[in-house]
Amino acid sequence: MFTLAEVASLNDIQPTYRILKPWWDVFMDYLAVVMLMVAIFAGTMQLTKDQVVCLPVLQSTVNSKAQPIMSGKADFTTVETTTGQGEASSMRTVSFGSAPTVTPGVPLSTAASSQYPPTESGQELKKEQKDSSGRKTNLDFQQYVFINQMCYHLALPWYSKYFPYLVLIHTIILIVSSNFWFKYPKTCSKIEHFVSILGKCFESPWTTKALSETACEDSEENKQRLTGAQSLSKYVSTSSDEGSPSATTPMITKSGFKFSADKPMIEVPSVTILDKKDGEQAKALFEKVRKFRAHVEDSDLIYKLYVGQTVIKTVKFIFILCYTANFVNTISFEHICNPKVEHLIGYTQFECTHNMAYMLKKLLISYISLICVYGFICLYTLFWLFRIPLKEYSFEKVREESSFSDIPDVKNDFAFLLHMVDQYDQLYSKRFGVFLSEVSENKLREISLNHEWTFEKLRQHVSRNAQDKQELHLVMLSGVPDAVFDLTDLEVLKLEVIPEAKIPAKISQMTNLQELHLCHCPAKVEQTAFSFLRDHLRCLHVKFTDVAEIPAWAYLLRNLRELYLVGNLNSENNKMIGLESLRELRHLKILHVKSNLTKIPPNITDVAPHLTKLVIHNDGTKLVVLNSLKKMTNVAELELQNCELERIPHAIFSLSNLQELDLKSNSIRTIEEIISFQHLKRLTCLKLWHNKIVSIPPSITHIKNLESLYLSNNKLESLPAAVFSLQKLRCLDVSYNSIALIPVEIALLQNLQHFHITGNKVDVLPKQLFKCVKLRTLSLGQNCITSLPDKVGQLLQLTYLELKGNCLDRLPVTLGQCQLLRKGGLVVEDHLFDALPSEVKEVLNQDTSIPFANGI
């Protein structure tokens, strides 16, 4: 037999699950406990007190005539009868020592008178019997025990005997149905995870701080609205949309306040700084909530299971009520029993009493009342389940009461669990919503970031770049630290892989800032910050994966001079970039696009009138359409690199102001069109390196103003004399070809300052080479040269000489006559340098303040 505590444990759930128990579930649990007590109480009473006592029903004839006559001594014995449950009960019966034999059909008085003659004592006894009440049955003890047991099982209705057990079974089923969703494996894990996260969110210090900040912002906003509604009406907004700016609204919006360029910024009280441990725990909670939401929103199993168990309880209630109500009247104190054992007892009918009848009836009525209440609650639960869509949950109220207007609505099991929590305490869902908000997460990151990156730490990361400018490079942070904008002397700011970068109005303090790099960093800008950048920023570098990552405000920086775009701009995305006009970039001079274009975007022509340099670096995608180039008449520098060009585009010949042309890393094989360059009177630099050119046409002589010619990394085998007719040529680079001979006509290039022929097949250096007395850079490495003429000493301006990788056995001592040549500018094997005379080495080892240059 089990105890009440053991049965009650079936209804026991973890205390943390109580937040998912609405009032009706709690009430039904208590009702189930009361029903358990009723069942156990009834069962206990039945096992210990239940009795049936039966007496035979005498026939009317017998009742009217039969008068037992006793003579002699009366012998009184006490007989114990046994009930149907085996319990002994005492009853007093009277037996006479010489009683006559009972013969059915024959009256006892007749038999007695025939056997015993009337005497004086007999008459007295008869008188006494007339005065006494009750009738004798002449049954012995065993017969009473037998008939009580027979009638307990035959006369009592089955419900009177099994009522406690039925109540116990029904109650256990109801208890199991109420808590099955907490035990089912597929729902139990989700519920445990949800309750765990919910408890941590409720207790997290960040929740309190975030909601406190909301209260501060609300009070500050109300104060500002009361004191300066008119003055703020033009520039204060509480929109949380993050749309792209248009030409008339150049502001990048964000949640919270917005500011214009001519109004002061409203200061909002900041949140108290979290310690590092609390901050890390809050960050982990955001990640857990994000993953849990993605996992739980996929299904509605918890909702369906809860609805199913509620339906089962309702059906169970209806079933119990229907059959129990029919048995209320069957429980009675008196029962007629016809055991059909006349041959053993001598009587056909008995009248029995059930001593537990009144108690059982009252317990049954109480049980029915409890079941009715339980059933009405089940019906209310079903009404609540279907009255509103519980598979959708809106945080609209939380959004209205807080500054976290981006809290998303949830669905399926996640929504249902939140609805259940609301029945316990709505504060839970409000605090939970804080961890669903990206604004809240960003604020947490901002606080932690500012705590970690102080002004002193940022100052240590500032360095000087190649242009001798103060530069700060921040990589993979959760945001931009506020202290960055206190570095007022900073000139270059690089932000790399900072997806939540925001540029506040404080950037207006950085009056020296002229260059901004955004590498995979779609920064958002406040209105005041945008106004500052629009007027002061000169150079912008944007590296992106998709064109949509380019900040919309970048197209509105009217004082921008240089724009560098590096990212994917394939044929599909070309349409997208066409939507953004460059017309507002009125002072743009340099446009650098490194992408995979198949055509030059048409909107580049918006900046054509003032663009002086256009650079297009493809990743090997063939650039087919170049007609837009014809409109860029003011372009002075044009680079089309790695565009798979096979010939020089004809559109280039229309660029009358072109001074430098770079067609590096294409597939150009022939340059016969070079004769058309004679119309480009200002062309001074031609770079055709890293192509497949096999020969230089004589028409190159028509480019009379050419000063630099780069033909390295081609397939040239010789240098035609036409090249040496370019009298203004100062730099000639033919490195890494297959040239075996340097023509003697090279002496005609009297203005030549840089000559590179590294990586060819030259074995002899003509003496005429050293008549180019203005040479400052001479690259002769990786050839087959066996000796260096002494006339090298005539190159008095030589600062760089490369000889490494040849077949030299010695160096001429005349190297010491090259007054500007030093050891750092002499690239040669160590053993050759060591073989020089000491006085020559001493000259070459002298320090000089004149830097050398290789001309590349």
| CATH number for position 43 | 1.20.1440.80
552 belongs to a structural domain:
no
352 belongs to a structural domain:
yes
695-728 burial: b if 16+ Cβ within 10 Å, else e: ebbebbbbbebbbbbbbbbbebeebbeebbbbee
Residue 168 CA to residue 8 CA, distance in Å, equals 11
pTM higher than the cut 0.85: no
Please tell me which residue, 755 or 47, carries the higher pLDDT value: 755
Question: Residue 213: which of 397, 403, 399 has the closest Cα?
Answer: 403
560 belongs to a structural domain:
no
Main-chain phi, psi angles of 616, to 5 degrees: -125, 115
Bridge-based pairing state of the strands 685-687 and 660-662:
parallel
Which tokens is 307 given? 């609805």
Among 7-21, 72-86, 607-621, 811-825, which stretch is predicted with the lowest mean pLDDT? 72-86
- List, in order, residues 6 or more apart from 497 with CB less than 8 Å away: 475, 476, 519, 520, 521
What burial class does residue 354 get, using C-beta atoms within 10 Å of its C-beta: 0-12 exposed, 13-18 middle, 19+ buried? Answer: buried
Please tell me which residue, 730 or 139, carries the higher pLDDT value: 730
Question: Residue 305: which of 183, 394, 404 has the closest Cα?
Answer: 183
823 belongs to a structural domain:
no
pLDDT for 808 = 92
677 belongs to a structural domain:
no
Per-residue confidence band for 329, with pLDDT thresholds at 50, 70 and 90: confident
Among 49-63, 492-506, 592-606, 802-816, which stretch is predicted with the lowest mean pLDDT? 49-63
Residues 650 and 674 sit within 8 Å (Cβ to Cβ):
no
Residue 150 CA to residue 54 CA, distance in Å, equals 10
Return the residue matching tokens 């537990």: 356
Percentage of the chain exceeding pLDDT 70: 79
The total number of structural domains in the chain stands at 1
Helix (H) or strand (E) holding 378: helix 357-387
Per-residue HEC secondary structure of 489-500 comes to: CCCEEEEECCCC
pLDDT for 327 = 78
pLDDT exceeds 50 at position 844 = yes
pLDDT for 489 = 92
What burial class does residue 192 get, using C-beta atoms within 10 Å of its C-beta: 0-12 exposed, 13-18 middle, 19+ buried? Answer: middle
pLDDT exceeds 50 at position 69 = no
Question: Residue 331: which of 381, 296, 281, 366 has the closest Cα?
Answer: 366
Among 2-6, 128-132, 739-743, which stretch is predicted with the lowest mean pLDDT? 128-132
What burial class does residue 798 get, using C-beta atoms within 10 Å of its C-beta: 0-12 exposed, 13-18 middle, 19+ buried? Answer: buried
pLDDT for 134 = 60
Return the residue matching tokens 């910024």: 265
- List, in order, residues 6 or more apart from 540 with CB less than 8 Å away: 515, 516, 518, 554, 557, 560, 562, 563, 564
Residue 301 CA to residue 364 CA, distance in Å, equals 37
Range of the domain at 316: 4-57+156-185+308-389
pLDDT for 513 = 92
Question: Residue 279: which of 455, 443, 405 has the closest Cα?
Answer: 443
Residues 532 and 556 sit within 8 Å (Cβ to Cβ):
no
Question: Residue 255: which of 264, 268, 246 has the closest Cα?
Answer: 268
Taking CB atoms within 8 Å and a gap of at least 24, the contacts of 90-96 are 91/144, 93/136, 93/137, 93/139, 93/140, 93/141, 94/136, 96/68, 96/70, 96/71, 96/72
pLDDT for 475 = 92
Q: Convert the pLDDT of each residue in 667-690 to its tens digit.
A: 999 988 888 888 888 999 999 999
Per-residue confidence band for 78, with pLDDT thresholds at 50, 70 and 90: very low
Which tokens is 638 given? 């044009």
Bridge-based pairing state of the strands 470-475 and 463-464:
antiparallel
Residues 761 and 736 sit within 8 Å (Cβ to Cβ):
no
Q: Convert the pLDDT of each residue in 87-116 to its tens digit.
A: 333 333 333 333 333 333 333 333 333 333
Residue 432 CA to residue 426 CA, distance in Å, equals 10
What burial class does residue 575 get, using C-beta atoms within 10 Å of its C-beta: 0-12 exposed, 13-18 middle, 19+ buried? Answer: exposed
Please tell me which residue, 831 or 133, carries the higher pLDDT value: 831
Can you name the residues that pair with 543 across neighbouring β-strands?
Answer: 519, 566
Residue 393 CA to residue 409 CA, distance in Å, equals 6
Strand, coil or helix: what is 787?
coil
Per-residue confidence band for 778, with pLDDT thresholds at 50, 70 and 90: very high
Helix (H) or strand (E) holding 294: helix 276-296
Residues 811 and 787 sit within 8 Å (Cβ to Cβ):
no
CA 161, chain centre distance (Å): 60
249 belongs to a structural domain:
no
What burial class does residue 297 get, using C-beta atoms within 10 Å of its C-beta: 0-12 exposed, 13-18 middle, 19+ buried? Answer: middle
Bridge-based pairing state of the strands 708-710 and 731-733:
parallel
How far the first Cα of the chain sits from its last, in Å, is 99
Per-residue confidence band for 162, with pLDDT thresholds at 50, 70 and 90: confident
Residue 420 CA to residue 24 CA, distance in Å, equals 11
Per-residue confidence band for 607, with pLDDT thresholds at 50, 70 and 90: confident
Average pLDDT, the chain: 78
Return the residue matching tokens 């907004």: 237
pLDDT for 149 = 82
Residues 72 and 98 sit within 8 Å (Cβ to Cβ):
yes
Strands (E), 246-386: 334-337, 350-354
Residues 566 and 545 sit within 8 Å (Cβ to Cβ):
no
Other CB atoms within 10 A of residue 259 CB: 21
Strand, coil or helix: what is 843?
helix
Per-residue confidence band for 214, with pLDDT thresholds at 50, 70 and 90: low
407 belongs to a structural domain:
no
Main-chain phi, psi angles of 827, to 5 degrees: -100, 105
Residue 600 CA to residue 585 CA, distance in Å, equals 18
pLDDT for 630 = 83
779 belongs to a structural domain:
no
- List, in order, residues 6 or more apart from 150 with CB less than 8 Å away: 337, 339, 341
